[in-house]
Structure 1
Amino acid sequence: MSGIKRFIVVLLFEGVDLLDVTGPAEVFSLFQRETGDATGYHVALAAETLDPVTTAAGVRVLPDMTFEEAATRSIDTLMVPGSVEVDDQSRVHAVTDPTVVHWVKELASRSKRVASVCVGAHLLAAAGLLDGKRATTHWSTAQQLAADHPAIEVDADPIFIRDQDVWTGAGITACLDLSLALVAEDFGETTALRVARQLVMYLKRPSGQSQFSVPTEPAPTTRRMDDLRHYITQNIAGHLTAADLAEHAHISERQLVRIFKTELGMTPAVYVEAARVEVARQLLESTDDTLERVASACGFNTIDTLIRAFRRKLNTTPTEYRARFRHSV
């Protein structure tokens, strides 16, 4: 591990959704337990005062510091949870308290990255942090977000979206997916996968995702599938036809197709292409390699094949993806 302590501030306010607060804290805590790196993260809960905060679940939570104290610190990640209210027609509305919005804006200016959980996206929007960006939120308030803030490109489908240094998450339990993605960005996807396994969840859910999610396949249900996935990963630039995979697994092609459909819900060809796109995505984010080199390293015969795969899987091009997601060095 790097030994770098990353300071994470999670906002607290009356009526906040409890899991929005405790979910991310649990992920970052599990990271430290799983890796033995006690200096990986320092999570602090911040509120307007040090008085207990009553969450939407009725559970009272004690802040670690005030908003004013947090504003004196350099923050690595600001986590902004959300809160909702229900009107007389049983319609759900996100709550945007002006005081909280003020502190979101203030603390965001001292943060390297900002992430909202569920309807916390409405607080980011009210603070002007999502203008000109693509964002997601809980499906029940997505229309409200789009109507209240036309400068935001709202997409209710993804589990989470990253646009530069601003992240937004969807439903309440998506706080776990989002937090795992932050761990993956900080310490790599292998480490994040270890944490995901402790949570007994996917690092990437098998549906409802977009190009902004951190892709990882569903956990295999048999040792044979685990071996096939490992073989594909280790030979991503080579020949990975159904015949090649069947020969490696010492089974017929018909059996191979049946195993993939039963355990992963897709054909071997679809899985291999997804795995190659994932490797290409990582290279585009972390290197300056040419598209030709990226295509070759991922097993795509030509740049055109790479581009077509990106359009199918991510609805974008490799060049567009790199322009938005290339990590700064």
Structure 2
Amino acid sequence: MMQKNQSQPLPSYQRFAQAMSPSGTRPFRVGIVIGPGFLPMDMVGIQAVFGFCPGAEIHLLWKSLDLVEGFPAWWTQPTTTFSDCPEKLDVLAVPMLAPETTNDPEVIAFVAKQGRQAKYLIGVCNGVVLLGAAGLLEGKRVTTSLNSLSLLHQLGAAEVVTSGGSVVVDGNLYTARPSIGSFEAALMVVDVAFGREFAELANLVLEYDPHPPLGPGTLENAGKVIAGKYSNLIDDMIQAYSQGAVAAYQRQAQG
């Protein structure tokens, strides 16, 4: 079922929304998977960018409408259950989810079905691993977070991009590194779906202009000591992703 909107009307925001999306605009349906352990920083750019688009319908998708906890301590109310998700989404987006959620067969099956029908497909950070488990990276050029890059060939990717920009595009598939990757992938989709003029307007509304205060979050900038600490922190999690996602992909590949 879908969560009914019980929020208090805010006329100032309503006027802004109506100016961005005039009455009669066809729906533009965006589904974002937000199961337990989702990483808010990997979904907020998607929600923000597409939320300004003409006809935007944002569906925060999960198995039920029960609250789920984003990591850390970001409790969120899903708006639409898997069973009530629109049959065909304009955008299906998958942020990083916990391994336990990524490896869940029901979640994989849902993403596989919706991902094959969506007009545009976005994976951010280890959300890309879930797309791989669902068989959606087969033969594609892709990227993901630093410590999961080694998994992508095992998930059917033809080419894994390890450096360069935050987003890699292959057809209708947009894979992104964490954090600002969610904004950039969404803006790139908007550029294709709505045209350059509207994309530039959205870019200005967001005032998107990142300036990392500590320099880029790259292995080269971090140096060996910090990179080693990061690797030690996340190695167990990457192993957990590997065990479930690779097995699920292999089952998908075998039909």
TM-score bracket relative to the smaller structure: 0.5 to 0.7
Check the 8 A contact 1:96/1:122 in 2, yes or no: no
Q: Distance in 2 between matches of 1:119 and 1:160?
A: 13
Aligned-pair identity (%):
26
Q: Distance in 2 between matches of 1:150 and 1:110?
A: 19
SS of residue paired to 2:126: helix
**Shift in Å, 1:112:** 1.9
> Is the counterpart of residue 167 in structure 1 residue 181 in structure 2?
no
> Is the counterpart of residue 45 in structure 1 residue 45 in structure 2?
no
Among 81, 92, 95, the alignment partner of 1:66 is 81
Q: How does 1:266-285 map to 2 (within 5 A)?
A: none
| Counterpart position of 1:15 | 37
SS of residue paired to 2:90: strand
Q: Relative to 1, partners in 2 of residues 1:190 and 1:108: Cα closer, same or farther, differing over 3 Å?
A: same
| Counterpart position of 2:91 | 77
| Counterpart position of 1:111 | 118
Q: Distance in 2 between matches of 1:191 and 1:75?
A: 20
| Counterpart position of 1:196 | 203
Q: Distance in 2 between matches of 1:185 and 1:52?
A: 33
SS of residue paired to 2:184: helix
Check the 8 A contact 2:64/2:81 in 1, yes or no: yes
What is the identity, as a one-letter code, of the residue corresponding to 1:117? V
Check the 8 A contact 1:122/1:145 in 2, yes or no: yes
Check the 8 A contact 1:17/1:82 in 2, yes or no: yes
CA RMSD in angstroms comes to: 2.7
| Counterpart position of 2:159 | 153
Where does structure 2 lack aligned partners over 5 or more consecutive residues? 1-20, 217-255
Check the 8 A contact 1:67/1:103 in 2, yes or no: yes
What is the identity, as a one-letter code, of the residue corresponding to 1:162? V
Among 176, 181, 185, the alignment partner of 2:183 is 176
- Larger relative contact order (CA 8 Å, sep ≥ 6): 2
| Counterpart position of 1:218 | none
**Shift in Å, 1:110:** 2.9
Check the 8 A contact 1:94/1:119 in 2, yes or no: no
**Shift in Å, 1:113:** 2.1
Check the 8 A contact 2:34/2:97 in 1, yes or no: no
**Shift in Å, 1:10:** 0.7
**Shift in Å, 1:109:** 3.0
What is the identity, as a one-letter code, of the residue corresponding to 1:45? L
| Counterpart position of 1:5 | 27
Q: Distance in 1 between matches of 2:134 and 2:177?
A: 19
Check the 8 A contact 1:18/1:56 in 2, yes or no: yes
Q: Relative to 1, partners in 2 of residues 1:173 and 1:94: Cα closer, same or farther, differing over 3 Å?
A: farther
Q: Relative to 1, partners in 2 of residues 1:151 and 1:175: Cα closer, same or farther, differing over 3 Å?
A: closer
> Is the counterpart of residue 142 in structure 1 residue 149 in structure 2?
yes
What is the identity, as a one-letter code, of the residue corresponding to 2:114? L
**Shift in Å, 1:12:** 1.4
Q: Distance in 1 between matches of 2:84 and 2:147?
A: 34
Q: Distance in 1 between matches of 2:185 and 2:40?
A: 16
Among 131, 134, 137, the alignment partner of 1:127 is 134
| Counterpart position of 1:237 | none
Q: Distance in 1 between matches of 2:179 and 2:30?
A: 19
Check the 8 A contact 1:94/1:141 in 2, yes or no: no
Q: Distance in 2 between matches of 1:49 and 1:129?
A: 24
Q: Relative to 1, partners in 2 of residues 1:94 and 1:104: Cα closer, same or farther, differing over 3 Å?
A: closer
**Shift in Å, 1:95:** 4.7
Q: Relative to 1, partners in 2 of residues 1:160 and 1:151: Cα closer, same or farther, differing over 3 Å?
A: closer
Aligned length: 190
Deviations 1:190-243 (A, max 9, x none): 22122222322249x9xx9xxxxxxxxxxxxxxxxxxxxxxxxxxxxxxxxxxx
Check the 8 A contact 2:190/2:199 in 1, yes or no: yes
Check the 8 A contact 2:42/2:178 in 1, yes or no: no
Per the normalisation by structure 1, the TM-score is: 0.53
